[in-house]
Every structure is written in structure tokens, then in C-alpha cells.
Amino acid sequence: MIPLAARNKLVFLHLHTSGIGDSFFGVVSDYQPISIALNIVDLNLNPIDKFHKLIKSSSNYAWDNDAVKIHGLDKEILEEFGNDLKDVSDYTLTFLSKHFDLVNDTIKFVGFNIEKFHYLFFSDLINPTNNGITLKNRLYDIDFMLLMDEIYTNKEMFKYMNKIGYLTSSEINSLYIEYVRSKIR
């Protein structure tokens, strides 16, 4: 049984990847997700649950050293603290199934550049073990919210994030949640 109705929840999604490549054109096969965070909140943005996993680097995927400059996760860190890609896929679906009926519910995902980047990698991540499940979803892009905002720009948010140092995917989701909360109140 699902504890709360799916329509009353949002899932903030953030991933770090082994590179960017052509992901902005819908091609993610060259690179892999190396960190995933899901923060589930109610419609008032109160936290309900969160999930974060590091993923071991796989030789089946490309690695771009410039990506390490963005997220600070090198292969040694991932080897020591990461989980196998297939295991993270299983963990992710298990986590989501605690809150949603994965066959029937429409899951509302929120994130920065979610449509052209994060959800593409997320779909690729859950693909190996989804057992034919195609998640119904609605995507809400914070990038759009930032562009519509008169005070903040993407550049300013990245300057702020860089000033405070490398952040985990979960910490980035927390910043996003606070940003959205400040805009709806």
C-alpha cells in the first residue's frame, strides 16, 4: 500500500555523470550516472523521504576528467564508496515503490535541466532492471523557473554553488527545494 497519494508528492531528482557529451541532444549512451539523489517532498515542500547513492564507474562507459572538476567525484572515490550500477537501479526502483505505484501513478519529477539531462540519465539508470515498467511522469524544470525569475540567473546559482564547494546530489536537491520554496511563498 502506498502511504500517501502520488498526486500530493514531488520528487526532486539530481544526478552527477561521468561526462556530458551529447546528452543535451538526447544521447546518453556514452556516459553513465555516478551519483543519484531523490528527495521526495509534499506540495508544501516539506521533506518526506530521501535517497542518495554513489555509483561505481563502469568500463562500459566513457569518462571525462572535466566532469570531475564539476562534481569532485573521481574513479577512486566511486570505487571505494560506490555501488554497482545494476544494484543502484534496483535500489532506486525499490525506493520509489515505497511512495508510488510504479505502474499506475504519474510521478512528478522536479530538477535543474531535468528534461534535457537528468531525466535522460535517470531513465538510462533504471532501464536495466525495470522489468518492462515505463514510469509515467511529468517533468518540472527548475531551469525554466530560473529563467523566468527576475533576480536569479543560472550563472548566479552556479556561482553560489561553486562558492560553497562541491555538493552531493542530495545537497543540490536541498538547494533547489529552498529556491522553489522561496518563489512560491
Q: Which domains does the chain have, with CATH numbers?
A: 8-184 (3.30.420.10)
Task: Provide the pLDDT for residue 184.
Answer: 56
Distance CA 3, CA 139 (A): 22
Res 150: pLDDT = 41
How confident is the chain (185 residues) per 10-residue block, as mean pLDDT?
Answer: 64 88 59 91 87 90 84 88 92 94 89 82 76 75 56 47 52 70 61
Please state, in angstroms and rounded to a whole number, the distance separating the CA atoms of residues 96 and 99: 5
* pLDDT in the model for residue 98: 94
Q: In this predicted structure, what is the pLDDT of residue 54?
A: 92
| 3-state SS assignment for residue 159 | helix
Alpha-carbon distance of 102 to 10, in angstroms, equals 14
Report how far residue 2's alpha carbon sits from residue 160's, in angstroms, rounded to the nearest whole number. 37
pTM surpassing 0.75? Answer: yes
CB 118 within 8 A of CB 14: yes
| pLDDT confidence of residue 147 | 45
Task: Specify the pLDDT at position 69.
Answer: 80
10 Å CB burial of residue 109 (0-12, 13-18, 19+) is: buried
The pLDDT of residue 103 is 85
pLDDT of residue 173: 66
Q: Measured between alpha carbons, how far is 110 from 141 in angstroms, rounded to an integer?
A: 6
Q: For the beta carbon of residue 119, count every other beta carbon within 10 angstroms.
A: 20
